[in-house]
Structures are given as structure tokens and as C-alpha cells.
Amino acid sequence: MFEHIWRRKGEYQVESKADQVEKLRRVIDEADAVVIGAGAGLSTSAGFTYTGERFEKYFSDFAEKYGFQDMYSGGFYPFQTFEEHWAYWSRYIYINRYMDAPKPVYQDLLKLVREKDYFVLTTNVDHCFQKAGFEKKRLFYTQGDYGLFQCSKPCRQETYDNEKTIREMVLAQGFVIGEDGTLALPDGVRPAQTVPTELVPRCPHCGRPMSMNLRADDTFAEDEGWHMAAERYENFLRTRNGHRMVFLELGVGYNTPGIIKFAFQRMTADRPDATYVCINFGEAYAPEAIQRRSICINGDIGDVLAQI
């Protein structure tokens, strides 16, 4: 029921979660600018889970054949052919990029900041911000996008939209796409675990196999759009110096903490009028140096946003 906020004279000052939510509402209202930092926990709260029912619904045949129990593990499996690799990945991409999230968490977040001067920095690659209506020019996807192919080398820093090819791949496996964009199997149909060879994507310049535009190693392609978004983010931070800013961290873990978490904490420390907010289930924490200017809420992001 209560959260530890900061240590004072050897004791913890505590506030109820309701008090914290109310403080967050007030801080956002009074802010000149809001920088949102979003990690995987935000999409998890929105229903984009990689285990359980969603995994069983779309990947039970792969689980039966290979034994992995979640989408993430399957993404690293060394499939023997490109045809099988892209059968798996086309389903993965379609349901996590081209289908809508089950819960309106991103829409609730937009309601919170729509009238504010905001910018979004995210390590998520599922395009949920744009699908919810956030302005593209206020988004920086640092780690890539499920909706983009790139050369696997890469021979140049370019990316390619993949929606048409991904749709063709899932349809070739026996799935049908509903009018609402959802993916389903007709009754009695067992999906194919390969795609036609002619659908396997290859670089239009060098002919090498395509890969996903995801930052996994030093082959990640930073295209023109990536660099333009990076520049807009840097300009946003630079031109709001001295403003009352809120660094709103949502669902960020410790896989790549330097991109959002540590950067937000450092910028809060450097800006006397800034407030650091961390909403995370089980990992809501602020360093002692900025605890007096922090709001840390341990809970589901969607539940917290629904209360504001």
C-alpha cells in the first residue's frame, strides 16, 4: 500500500500510491515539457506479452517441434532454412507490429501528454506509439522497428518497409487476416512452417539475405530516418534547458539502462527544475541524489495511467 520515497534523518518518508498518483498528475500539469522514456514494460502492460496465451495461439506448432516456450527464445533459434526462419519471424512481426495492442495503455498515455510539449525516446520496436496517435516527429525509436528490413551485412545504411511481404508470408502459411487486422487460422487448418522461397527477402543492392532492423549487434543499420529522429531528440533537450521538465520513465529494465534510465537520472540531477518519474512493476527506484525530486510508483503502468 505504501512506497518508500526518500530517506530523511535516517527514516523513510512514505506516501500512499494514491498520493503518488496525485503528485504525478500535478507535476505533469505544471510541467513545461515532458520526456517519455519507454521500455518493454509499457508494451507488456498494454498486453503485448511474449508468453502464455498469445504464444500458444500463434506458435504452438513451433513449440511442439522445437521445445521453446516463448516468442523471444524462438527468435534466436537457428532454423535450418530461410523459409522456416521467415515463417516464424513473419508471424512474430505481424502480431507484434501490425496488430493493435489488446489494452489502451498507449492511448491513455497520449491523453496525459497530448496538450503538453513532449518527446518520446523508446527502446520498443513495436510501433505502438504511432498506432496510438503520437506524432511521428516527436518519436525516436533507438533500437529499430519490426516494420523494417535491412541488408544483413549491411551493405549500406538503408531500411525497407516490410508490411506487404510480411502479410504475404503469413497468408502463405494458411492464416487469414480479419477486417480488424487480427490474425487467425481457419478451423482445422494446421499452419505451414515454411514460406515460399520467392518471399524470402534479399537486399535489392547486393542480394544478401535481409534481416530485421533491430539493434542486436554492430550490423544494425542507422538509416536517414534514424539520424533525423536522433537529431530532433537532441534539439528537444537542448532547447528546453531551464524549463520545468518531467522525465517520465515507463517500464524500463536493466537490459540497456544507459539509453533511458541512467540518462534520465543524470539529466534530472543536472537540471534543478526537473522531476524524475519511474513507473515500473517491481523496479521503481531513484538514486539518493535525486530522490527528493522523484516519484517512483511500483505498479502496472496501465493501472496507474487509468487513475490519472
SS3 of 133-172:
CCCHHHEEECCEEEEEEEECCCCCCCCEECHHHHHHHHHH
Residue 303 lies in a domain: yes
Amino acid in the structure at residue 300 = D
In total, the chain counts a number of residues equal to: 308
- How many structural domains does the chain have? 2
The rounded distance, in Å, linking the Cα atoms of 270 and 189 is 58
pLDDT band at 15 (very low <50, low <70, confident <90, very high): confident
Other CB atoms closer than 10 Å to residue 269's CB: what's the count? 14
Residue 185 lies in a domain: yes
Break the chain down into helix, strand, coil percent, rounded to 5: 40, 20, 40
> For the purposes of burial, counting CB atoms within 10 Å of the CB of 86, is it exposed (0-12), middle (13-18) or buried (19 or more)?
buried
Residue 275 lies in a domain: yes
In terms of domains, do 241 and 266 share one? yes
- The answer to whether the CB of 37 falls within 8 A of the CB of 261 is yes
Rg (CA), the chain: 21
In terms of domains, do 115 and 27 share one? yes
In terms of domains, do 233 and 299 share one? yes
The rounded distance, in Å, linking the Cα atoms of 47 and 57 is 14
- Diameter of the chain measured on Cα atoms: 69
In terms of domains, do 91 and 186 share one? yes
In terms of domains, do 112 and 261 share one? yes
In terms of domains, do 79 and 109 share one? no
Q: What is the pLDDT of residue 2?
A: 35
Residue 167 pLDDT greater than 70, yes or no: yes
In terms of domains, do 180 and 268 share one? no
User: Which of the pair, 176 or 11, is modelled with greater confidence?
Assistant: 176
In terms of domains, do 255 and 294 share one? yes
Digit-coded pLDDT (tens) for 232-255? 999 999 999 999 999 999 999 998
Q: What are the cell numbers at 302?
A: 496501465
The rounded distance, in Å, linking the Cα atoms of 28 and 9 is 29
* pTM, two decimal places: 0.93
pLDDT band at 17 (very low <50, low <70, confident <90, very high): confident
Q: What is the pLDDT of residue 14?
A: 62
In terms of domains, do 252 and 288 share one? yes
Residue 128: how many CA atoms within 13 Å on its side-chain side?
A: 30
Q: Is the peptide bond before 154 cis (omega within 30 degrees of 0)?
A: yes
In terms of domains, do 189 and 284 share one? no
The rounded distance, in Å, linking the Cα atoms of 301 and 201 is 37
Residue 208 lies in a domain: no
In terms of domains, do 54 and 38 share one? no
pLDDT band at 212 (very low <50, low <70, confident <90, very high): very high
Residue 6 sits in a domain of what CATH number? 3.40.50.1220
Amino acid in the structure at residue 286 = A
Digit-coded pLDDT (tens) for 170-197? 999 999 999 999 999 999 999 999 999 9
Residue-number span of the structural domain to which 184 is assigned: 49-100+163-200
Residue 152 lies in a domain: no
Residue 149 lies in a domain: no
Average pLDDT score over the chain: 94
pLDDT band at 304 (very low <50, low <70, confident <90, very high): very high
Residue 8 pLDDT greater than 70, yes or no: no
> For the purposes of burial, counting CB atoms within 10 Å of the CB of 286, is it exposed (0-12), middle (13-18) or buried (19 or more)?
buried
- The answer to whether the CB of 70 falls within 8 A of the CB of 55 is yes
| Sequence-distant (≥ 6) Cβ neighbours of residue 203 within 8 angstroms | 151, 152, 153, 154, 155, 209, 210
In the predicted model, what is the mean pLDDT of residues 70-96?
A: 97
Beta bridge partners of 37: 121, 249
Torsional sign, CA 292, 294, 300, 306: positive
In terms of domains, do 229 and 295 share one? yes
